[in-house]
Amino acid sequence: MTTDQESSIINQIIGGDTQAFAVLVDLYKDLVFTLAIRMLKNREEAEEVSQDTFIKVYKALPKFKGESKLSTWVYKVAYNTSLDRIKKNSRSYNEVAIDSFTENQIKTLDNALDTLEKKEQQHTIQYCLQQLASKDSFLLTLFYFDELSLQEISQVMSMEANTVKVNIHRARKRLASILKQQLEPETIQSYERTRN
């Protein structure tokens, strides 16, 4: 969406045009839901957070200054709403040790993933993303799946671009560790099938 289109929709919504708001929701609903479910790991809560996000977007739209893209701003609202829900629920998430994980091992796992069928690959990655802490899953989703730049992610998460880069690197190591645990049994099973 161009800046002019964003301005037009924003002005229509502020002017009370519910159809324009429906267009905005339709544009971003899948992205907001995906981010919420990555962080919350619960479908019902992700649906509630998605609704809350759009309510907050609607109420705060007159304050939107246009300093970032509308999509980046909506991501930020979704991220903060998800964080609020996590704090409210005060759940603990899996932490994976990354101290001894090397770049070479990450590349080896990347190569192992290449051998999986595309569907298996997607299923495996989605499953492993669910095992990550919410922040890590969210970061990797923004960077790799939604293809946001480091600068855009830094705006969404209110942190420096270099900090985002370091956090993505660490999240990628954690994901690689989980993938390694997931792939080793599959590799053994595959090897046993080919021997029999």
CATH number for the domain that contains residue 184: 1.20.140.160
* For residue 3, pLDDT beyond 90: no
Q: Pick from 47, 62, 89: which residue ends a domain? A: 89
pLDDT digits (tens, 9 = 90+) for 84-115: 888 887 644 444 445 445 555 555 565 555 55
Residues 72 and 124 in one domain: no
Average pLDDT over residues 137-150: 85
Looking at the fold, whether 64 and 126 belong to one and the same domain comes out as no
Q: Is residue 98 part of a domain?
A: no
- Please give the torsion angle defined by the CA atoms of residues 111, 113, 117 and 121, in that order, rounded to the nearest 10 degrees: -160
Q: For the whole model, what pTM was predicted? A: 0.57
The count of structural domains within the chain is 2
Does residue 55 lie within any of the structural domains?
yes
Q: Are residues 191 and 114 in the same domain?
A: yes
Instruction: Indicate left, alpha or beta for 41 from its phi (over 0: left) and psi (-120 to 50: alpha).
Output: left
Task: Give which of 26, 189, 152, 156 is closest to 82, Cα–Cα.
Answer: 156
Instruction: Note the pLDDT tens digit of each residue in 41-88.
Output: 889 999 999 999 999 999 999 888 888 888 889 988 998 998 888 888
Last residue of a domain, one of 56, 89, 122: 89
- Shared domain check, 122 and 83: no
Per DSSP, 62 falls in state: G
Q: In 3-state terms, what secondary structure has residue 103?
A: helix
Instruction: Mark residue 90 as left, alpha or beta (left: phi above 0; alpha: psi -120 to 50; beta: remaining).
Output: left
Let me know if residue 97 belongs to a domain: no
Closest CA to 158 of 49, 72, 84: 72
Which domain covers residue 54, as residue numbers? 3-89
**109 and 80 co-located in one domain:** no
Last residue of a domain, one of 64, 89, 114: 89
Examine residue 96 and state whether it is found in any structural domain, yes or no. no
Is residue 85 domain-shared with residue 132, that is, in the same domain?
A: no
DSSP codes, 24-59:
HHHHHHHHHHHHHHHHH--HHHHHHHHHHHHHHHHH
d(CA 110, CA 116): 10
Q: What is the CATH number of the domain that holds 7?
A: 1.10.1740.10
pLDDT at residue 10, as a whole number: 87
For helices 3-14 and 18-40, the axis angle rounded to 10 degrees is: 110
DSSP state of 158: T
pLDDT of residue 59: 92
Q: Is residue 82 part of a domain?
A: yes
Q: By CB neighbour count within 10 A (0-12 exposed, 13-18 middle, 19+ buried), where does 29 fall?
A: middle
- Considering the domain architecture, whether residues 69 and 137 belong to the same structural domain is answered as no
Same domain, 80 and 107: no
